[in-house]
Amino acid sequence: MKVFAVVCAVLLGGASALYSPSSGVIDLTPSNFQKEVINSDAVWVVEFFAPWCGHCQQLVPEYQKAAQALKGVVKVGAVNADDHRSLGGQYGVRGFPTIKIFGLDKNKPEDYNGQRSAQSIVDAALKTAREKVNAQLSGKRGSSGGSSGGGGGGSADDVIELTDSNFEKLVLKSDDMWLVEFFAPWCGHCKNLAPHWQKAATELKGKVKLGALDATVHQVMASRYGVQGYPTIKFFYKGDVEDYEGGRTASDIVAFGNDKAAVNVEPPEIVQLTDEKVLEEACKKHQICIIAVLPHILDCQSECRNNYISMLTKLGDKYKQKMWGWVWSEAVAQSDLEQALDIGGFGYPALAALNAKKMQFALLKGSFSEDGINEFLRDISYGRGRTAPVRGAQLPSVSKVEAWDGKDGALPEEEDIDLSDVDLDDLEGHSEL
């Protein structure tokens, strides 16, 4: 029974996290990272992991052992970078596990490249702690994210001024996502927030709009939304209103905005590749486009094809925050494209990921199934996987084809041959010759 309980705990809990609250490893997320790590005076060892990563799972006992040994001296944390991709992206995480040590300068963490053992991790952490102590003894000060880590660098023009008269039109009747600060000009906390708010507005441009409303002047809207203190920040989207309770630095605000943008973005449409324009829309206007080549309709009738398209649609929804383009084509219908991407050698269906800017592509070598494609796309999303140059080093030409009508395929009808005018005697005679 104990073994069964342990297995269940691994299956149920291990899907989203690797460390329990009693492990000594602190769970870090976009909402607490700035406060716990960047704004802290402590030295931190931080692992960026993915729950499905085998190497991460193997590291767990050693990392927990290091956390227990460093207790009270150096703090040890872990980020589920599969769930919190914005945080992993912020620190250039490309593979798992990635360990970084945040020492004297919190804005420039040190990459840990030592052995994955508790002793090696402890030695590296203590080395960084000693360096910090010696630097502070000599009069040097570290850089944290408090006053400088995130403020500045933004444009005041990117923060939209809101009033009682324009609030409904700009915010409430908009299809855009909004973060709105209700402030008072005399408020010290509002003044401290201003450079961070400006920087966040610039970084989130095109994803989430940031506005500011002087609640001492425009009291109608401030009263409607129950503003009692300053600054008060609320998130608005299509009639829904949510209190923002995150940190007050640019990175906190940007992380929140990116998470909201990722959740609310519309899933991509899986478009049939019928002409040049479709390919350009999918591949030139997106960082990566996913190209599926499905079997001919005579080899895979409507039910079969629709199952493939439904599976691709589901995966498109899963990776929608990546903002990729998605297209599909019937086998052999776009021969130039297939040749350029080495599609067809392994049969159909087939799938490739194309970076049209770099003219590089990766080809799915595993199974054309939900799990197989998901594994392939997951590697693509983290910049992993083997790529090859597109043949011809340019976007291949696309033939104009008729869009699929959604029906089953049928062989062309055989033409009836009228033999009434044929003289069989003549045929027999010809045969004797």
Q: How far, in Å, CA of 85 to CA of 88, rounded?
A: 5
- What's the confidence (pLDDT) of residue 153? 58
Start-to-end C-alpha separation, the chain? 91
Q: Per DSSP, which regions of 154-296 are E strands? A: 159-162, 177-183, 208-214, 232-237, 240-243, 271-272, 289-294
CA proximity to 86, closest of 253, 198, 213, 216: 253
Instruction: Please report the pLDDT score of residue 154 as a whole number.
Output: 62
Parallel, antiparallel, or unpaired: how do β-strands 44-49 and 75-80 relate?
A: parallel
Q: What is the pLDDT of residue 269?
A: 92
Q: Is 279 helix (H, G, I), strand (E, B) or coil?
A: helix
Can you give the pLDDT at residue 15? 33
Cβ neighbourhood burial of 323 (10 Å; 0-12, 13-18, 19+): middle
Which phi and psi (to 5°) does residue 92 adopt? 65, 30
Tell me which residue has tokens 């799972």.
57
pLDDT of residue 394: 85
What is the per-residue pLDDT for 150? 41
Q: Would you state the pLDDT for residue 149?
A: 39
Catalytic one among 8, 53, 283, 289?
A: 53
Of 8, 56, 283, 300, which is the active-site residue? 56
Nearest one of 97, 94, 58 to 78, comparing CA atoms: 97
Q: What is the pLDDT of residue 140?
A: 61
* Count of CA atoms in the C-beta half-sphere (13 A) of 138: 8
Which domains does the chain show, CATH number per domain?
A: 2-137 (3.40.30.10), 156-264 (3.40.30.10), 271-389 (3.40.30.10)
Give 155-158's long-range contacts (Cβ < 8 A, gap of 24+).
155/198, 155/201, 155/202, 156/198, 158/198, 158/201, 158/202, 158/205, 158/210
In the residue annotation, 56 being an active-site residue is answered as: yes
Alpha helices in 148-249 (DSSP H): 167, 188-203, 219-224
Q: Which two tokens stand for residue 95?
A: 């593979």
Phi-psi region of 395 (alpha: psi -120 to 50; beta: other; left: phi over 0): beta
Q: What is the pLDDT of residue 91?
A: 84
Q: What is the pLDDT of residue 10?
A: 37
Task: Tell me which residues of the chain have a pLDDT lower than 50.
Answer: 1-16, 145-152, 431-433
Distance of CA 287 to the CA centre of its chain: 12
For residue 84, the model assigns a pLDDT of: 87
Name the residue with tokens 């227990």: 68
Annotated active-site residue 187? The verdict is yes
Cα–chain-centroid distance for residue 303? Answer: 31
Contacts for 5 with CB less than 8 Å, ≥ 6 apart? none
Q: Provide the whole-model pTM.
A: 0.47
pLDDT for 107 equals 80
N residues, the chain: 433
- pLDDT at res. 135: 84
CB atoms within 10 A of CB 83: 15
**Does residue 53 carry a catalytic annotation?**
yes
Say how far apart CA 312 and CA 373 lie, in whole Å. Answer: 9
